[in-house]
């Protein structure tokens, strides 16, 4: 068993990452890495692990999709009444991790999370396919349910409530969050596990940078 894991070992061969080649603003640098990932990664380059912690400090992670990056931060959408929603209500600090396997790249982001305005969430919700809109109403995300059939019953009830061509309004318990970064790390895989890592920290004077050991 252990042997088969050992055989998965892969060497990373990439040009080195030099701080002087990176933008002083990590959001700008993120945009550059993201644009390359859209070209080079085969699937969902906007998938990211969102890490939250509950009131006891117990962490949990799950994938979500980055839906927008603005001057203030990273936007994703979810059910406010889910496990992650409860965590963020009590502890609005979170982390994001992007992993782009083809390029051997990782970006970590940490900071404070705020809810989007109702208007911003409405605007995004209106762009979702109707099936996803109905699903957002029907799913009490992260709660247990007996069967798939039972869930289909809930979906049918929502379909009746919003018969086509009526528009589906946004459920009040569904919307967006924005993570406003105060720390970001750019990681580039290198041979012999001697990886390059450049960390940005937000200070009162703006962003500062430092190199971290692999
Ligand atoms: C690639 C991928 C993307 C996902 N994107 C989202 C998303 O944008 N929003 C969301 O609520 N859940 C998304 N999910 C589902 C979450 O990982 C998770 O199952 C769900 O949000 C419940 O998490 P929670 O119980 O921690 O609140 C995604 C899952 C995967 C695998």
Span 97-149, pLDDT tens digits = 999 999 999 999 999 999 999 999 999 999 999 999 999 999 999 999 999 99
What pLDDT is attached to residue 3? Answer: 78
pLDDT grade for 77, boundaries at 50, 70 and 90: very high
Counting atoms of ligand 1 from 1, which one is nearest the CA of 47?
1
Output the pLDDT for position 6: 83
CA distances for 127 relative to 87, 109, 121, 169, angstroms: 27, 27, 10, 11
The DSSP secondary structure of 91-123, one letter per residue, reads --EEEEEEEEGGGTEEEEEEEEEEEPPHHHHHH
List CB contacts of 57: < 8 A, sequence separation 6 or more: none
Q: What is the pLDDT of residues 157-187, one digit of tens each?
A: 999 999 999 999 999 999 999 999 999 999 9
178: annotated active-site residue: no
Q: Which of 78, 125, 179 to mutate to test the pocket of ligand 1 (most atoms within 8 A of CB)?
A: 78
Residue 83 CA, closest ligand 1 atom number:
27
Cα–Cα distance measured from residue 75 to residue 69, given in angstroms and rounded to the nearest whole number = 6
Which pLDDT score is estimated for 120? 97
Domain topology for 9-129+171-212: Pnp Oxidase; Chain A (2.30.110)
pLDDT tens digits for 31-75? Answer: 999 999 999 999 999 999 999 999 999 999 999 999 999 889 999
pLDDT confidence bin for 1, thresholds 50/70/90: low
Nearest to 188 by CA among 199, 180, 179: 199
Question: CB of 196 within 8 A of CB of 210?
Answer: no
Q: pTM for this structure?
A: 0.96
52: CA distance to ligand 1 center in Å? Answer: 13
| CA 166 distance to own-chain centroid | 31
CA dihedral 210, 25, 99, 11 (to 10 degrees): -50
pLDDT recorded at residue 2: 73
Provide the residue ranges of all domains of the chain, joining segments of one domain with +: 9-129+171-212
The predicted structure's pLDDT at residue 87:
98
**Which residues have a Cβ under 8 Å from the Cβ of 37 and sit 6 or more positions away?**
45, 98, 100, 103, 105
CB-ligand 1 contact for 44 (6 Å cutoff): yes
């Amino acid at each position: 068993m252990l042997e088969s894991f050992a055989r998965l070992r892969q060497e990373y061969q990439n040009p080195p990452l030099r701080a002087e080649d990176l933008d002083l603003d990590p959001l700008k640098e993120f945009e550059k890495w993201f644009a390359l990932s859209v070209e080079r990664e085969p699937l969902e380059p906007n998938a990211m692990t969102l890490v939250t912690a509950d009131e006891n400090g117990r962490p949990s992670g799950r994938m979500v999709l980055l839906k927008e990056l603005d001057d203030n931060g990273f936007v994703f959408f979810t059910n406010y009444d889910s496990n992650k929603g409860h965590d963020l209500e009590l502890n609005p600090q979170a982390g994001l991790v992007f992993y782009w396997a083809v390029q051997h790249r990782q970006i970590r982001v940490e900071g404070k999370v705020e809810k989007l305005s109702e208007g911003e969430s409405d605007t995004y919700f209106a762009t979702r396919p109707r099936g996803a809109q109905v699903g957002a109403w029907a799913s009490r995300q992260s709660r247990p349910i007996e069967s798939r059939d039972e869930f289909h019953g809930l979906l049918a009830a929502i379909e009746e409530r919003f018969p086509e061509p009526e528009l589906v309004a946004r459920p009040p318990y569904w919307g967006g969050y924005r993570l406003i970064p105060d720390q970001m790390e750019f990681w580039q895989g290198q041979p012999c596990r001697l990886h390059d890592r450049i960390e940005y920290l937000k200070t009162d004077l703006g962003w500062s940078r430092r190199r971290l050991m692999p």
